[in-house]
Structure 1
Amino acid sequence: MESSDLQERERERRSPNSMDLDMNGGNKRVFQRLGGASSKDSNQKVCFHWRAGRCNRYPCPFLHRESPPPAPFPGSSSSTNNKRVADDDSGFAGSSHRRGPGSGNNTWGRFGGNRTVTKTEKLCKFWADGNCPYGDKCKYLHCWSQGDSFSLLTQLDGHQKVVTGIALPSGSDKLYTASKDETLRIWDCASGQCTGVLNPGGEVGCMISEGPWLFVGMPNLVKAWNIQTNVDLSLTGPVGQVYSLVVGTDLLFAGTQDGSILVWRYNTATNCFDPAASLTGHTLAIVSLYVGANRLYSGSIDNSIKVWSLDNLQCVQTLTEHTSVVMSLICWDQFLLSCSLDNTVKIWAATQGGNLEVTYTHKEEYGVLALCGVHDAQAKPVLLCSCNDNSLHLYDLPSFTERGKILAKQEIRSIQIGPGGIFFTGDGTGQVKVWKWSTQPTAIHP
């Protein structure tokens, strides 16, 4: 078997769209090698040498014509999943399929240069690694994004594990990124160069900035750095990893692995943070916190959202409509938006009695990891929605009309809005990408 055959089979094996398991849960290829019946004759496969216009096998055991397009996934639009793109990627050809001179009766397939390639919406892993041998003939995407409202400016490499925080401290010309590789990296915003690496002494679970302060969540600890005065504080009290941090008024909140929320109050006289409270009620780790409308919202692995009053730090409501981990929370005007590994984004609004109720549920094909919101230059709200299929969707609200998509090697766990139409994404491989809106948005503030 030629090496190109092996590459093609390896590509199919690695694609999540290929069905590698039989109905009994076993590996299909192993099942077939042991004598199991194949659901599809191998000679019904299209020859990829013919597709590339260079098949020299006669007779060739594979088809020298295009097979019918695959059926759309349940619940998805055929206009979304069955788009066909010309070789030069200049635009969509709709549901029709143009045939080049290499099709028809030409069994040698030497003239396939004008052929249309069926593109999927999946990133080519070989291209992402810099070595796809198929070039424009590849049916997978050779780009990091889809949509014309934004573009990739640069990529920041250096972290070795998932990026857990991205921060732009006030008054600083530096970007800070944190990772589970136990490092913080400092980047010069003008040059994009890494100017320093900090080792906080443990795995970083989250990082935020507020004014000149940089807060880093770690196992059993929150570190606080003042980048203007170089004050370095260690806030003790958390049990286990600190997964989420947020600041509200003069309070710092930390969501911990044991399900409690620790609270510190900033003391201007001593320039320190004094312990203020410990909020209990969640039964499992707290992975998302947000402050808005004089409320603290907490999302947990126990599938619930709790609403806390900032006046007395008492829980005023528990929301239990999600059926899996509540990964991210944001406030938008009078609405609360939550996302979960249950594949949904829920929109909450207050009733006349003041309690929150779900007014709309947006469903995704995969679990939703993170939310971030902006307004574009026309004051239109745009929601950035990261899913665990390694994609980030950009939706116009309130219609949830998709206006673009960002792709990554692994899931995007961190999103940060910057000034001047810049935003940042950090993924599971440690890559941080810098994006630029073609029309400048403004960050949403609670």
Structure 2
Amino acid sequence: MDVDGNKRVFQRLGAPSTANPGDPSKQKVCYHWRAGKCTRYQCPFLHRELPPPTSNEGPGKRFAEHSGSQFYRKGSNKFNGGSNTWGRVHGTNNMPAAKKSEKLCNFWLQGKCAYGEGCRFLHSWSVGDSFSLLTQLESHQKVVTGIAFPSGSDKLYTGSKDESVRMWDCQSGQCTCVVNLGGEVGCMISEGPWLFVGLPNLVKAWNTQTSADLSLSGPVGQVYALVVGNSMLFAGTQDGSILAWKYNEATNNFDPAASLTGHSVAVISLVVGAKRLYSGSMDNTIRVWNLENLQCMQILTDHTSIVMSVLCWDQFLLSCSLDKTIKVWAGTESGNLEVTYTHTEDHGVLFLCGVHDSAGKPVLLCACNDNSVRVYDLPSFSERGKIFAKQEVRAIQPGPGGIFFTGDGTGQVRVWKWAESSVQQ
């Protein structure tokens, strides 16, 4: 992680308020400000977005169409139609946060910065006032690859490439149990009381209420992704296949149901939504599968590098890649998905997680391979803040009561909470 820097970048004021409003040159938005790197003082162009054209609908109506949107893993909505509100700032209260020096102080990381509060680099694990760090859970020795909070449980579970799953008491923040599995944890999810853990050539299934302990064989190589949909458990594996199991109540076991083939290399992300299964792969593609007959319906090829994560939100599919883009897909009249908006980052994007802030508004957390997590409002992609780590964040999980968790490459899990002041009108 680059923790040094040559200079600070300040948020400069744009064209002064005394500028002639009729002068067209004073009604242009600064290109460099939009990129977050304008250093001119005074800049002759605006450092704010121009207000939208006046219409009879009112400026907030189109955004209100999405105000009740929910992230989901299961759903019956159809992807249908695009949206021209992606990537736009909706209202003056959703302006991007002021840019500050966004490089962590290397000496602060080592606990020996002599400048203290006067240091020009960050002495904080985050930027933005929408959320705050509650505590840190330190015990894993390698990257955290899964975080789960089973329903009806007061325990948090974390999995890591150190070949262990750890159970944490949510009241004391103490690790109360360590299960050594003998293989790297590639992923972990919970569904109801069940906890599923992806391992090399195996999926472990634990029922946190009955203590049932099952081993699901069949995968070839590391299991990188797990998801539940249409009463089936799906696992994305190293050899490019997707295995499916169906729960058998009579035997209290999971029976093999299907093997979905088509990807040429590892499947590393799965999500279910709109009666479809979506799989992201190291072959740079996303495949769309019908959940009823498990047939591939469409192959999405717009990414130019590994598809790291896929996410469903409302009527849209979101995907991210090491090609430094987040793509938003919407359905056409023919039923196929097409890109309706592309958001570009400066670094490869590793993971997407959808949460809701303290006001219930949708927020997208995007982990990048510069050891940071970007926090964006949806659908505007206006920035709410950033989270920093010593190494890449590879696991993010929402929790109850406005809490969410991040796990990084050092094995550290951090607990964050949305602030009540994060409510935006």
Q: Under a length normalisation based on structure 2, what TM-score does the superposition of the two structures give? A: 0.77
2:247 is aligned with 1:270? no
Q: Deviations over 1:375-413 (max 9, x none)?
A: 334442211111111111111111111011111111111
Q: Distance in 2 between matches of 1:147 and 1:219?
A: 39
Residues 142 and 160 in structure 2, CA contact (< 8 A), matched pair in contact too: yes
SS where residue 386 of structure 2 aligns? strand
Decide which of 116, 136, 142 is 1:161's aligned counterpart. Answer: 142
Q: Distance in 2 between matches of 1:336 and 1:79?
A: 25
| C-alpha distance 77-430 of structure 1, shift in aligned 2 (>3 A) | farther
Amino acid aligned to 1:219: P
Amino acid aligned to 1:391: S
Q: Distance in 2 between matches of 1:153 and 1:221?
A: 35
Q: Provide the alpha-carbon RMSD of the alignment.
A: 2.5
Decide which of 162, 176, 192 is 2:157's aligned counterpart. Answer: 176
Alignment-derived partner of residue 333 in structure 1: 314
Q: Distance in 2 between matches of 1:233 and 1:440?
A: 44
Alignment-derived partner of residue 351 in structure 1: 332
RCO higher in structure (CA 8 A, sep ≥6)? 2
Sequence identity, in percent? Answer: 70
2:339 is aligned with 1:363? no
> Alpha-carbon deviation of 1:138?
2.5
Alignment-derived partner of residue 236 in structure 2: 255
Residues 221 and 237 in structure 1, CA contact (< 8 A), matched pair in contact too: yes
Q: Distance in 2 between matches of 1:14 and 1:145?
A: 16
> Alpha-carbon deviation of 1:135?
1.8
Amino acid aligned to 2:128: G
> Alpha-carbon deviation of 1:17?
5.0
Q: Deviations over 1:2-44 (max 9, x none)?
A: xxxxxxxxxxx964657xxxxxxxxxxxxxxxxxxxxxxxxxx
Alignment-derived partner of residue 105 in structure 2: 124
> Alpha-carbon deviation of 1:285?
0.3
Give the paired residue count: 348
2:392 is aligned with 1:401? no
Q: Deviations over 1:268-295 (max 9, x none)?
A: 1111000001000000100000001110
Q: Distance in 1 between matches of 2:360 and 2:2?
A: 41
Residues 220 and 236 in structure 1, CA contact (< 8 A), matched pair in contact too: yes
Amino acid aligned to 1:296: L
Alignment-derived partner of residue 245 in structure 1: 226
2:401 is aligned with 1:410? no
Residues 346 and 361 in structure 1, CA contact (< 8 A), matched pair in contact too: yes
The 5-angstrom pairing of residues 286-365 of structure 1 reads 286-365=267-346
Decide which of 136, 142, 148 is 2:117's aligned counterpart. Answer: 136
Q: Distance in 1 between matches of 2:212 and 2:161?
A: 24
SS where residue 198 of structure 2 aligns? strand
> Alpha-carbon deviation of 1:122?
1.0
| C-alpha distance 364-313 of structure 1, shift in aligned 2 (>3 A) | same
Q: Distance in 2 between matches of 1:278 and 1:440?
A: 48
> Alpha-carbon deviation of 1:137?
3.3
> Alpha-carbon deviation of 1:130?
2.1
> Alpha-carbon deviation of 1:440?
9.7
Amino acid aligned to 2:220: V
Residues 386 and 393 in structure 1, CA contact (< 8 A), matched pair in contact too: yes
Q: Distance in 2 between matches of 1:170 and 1:78?
A: 42
Single out whichever of 304-313 and 393-402 deviates more from structure 2. 393-402
Q: Deviations over 1:158-206 (max 9, x none)?
A: 1111000000011110000000011111100111111111111211100
Amino acid aligned to 1:131: K
> Alpha-carbon deviation of 1:76?
5.8
| C-alpha distance 197-157 of structure 1, shift in aligned 2 (>3 A) | same
Give unmatched runs, 5+ long, in structure 2. 12-30, 43-98
Q: Distance in 2 between matches of 1:82 and 1:242?
A: 45
Residues 81 and 121 in structure 1, CA contact (< 8 A), matched pair in contact too: no
Residues 375 and 386 in structure 2, CA contact (< 8 A), matched pair in contact too: yes
2:206 is aligned with 1:225? yes
Q: Distance in 1 between matches of 2:231 and 2:34?
A: 51
Structure of higher CA gyration radius: 1
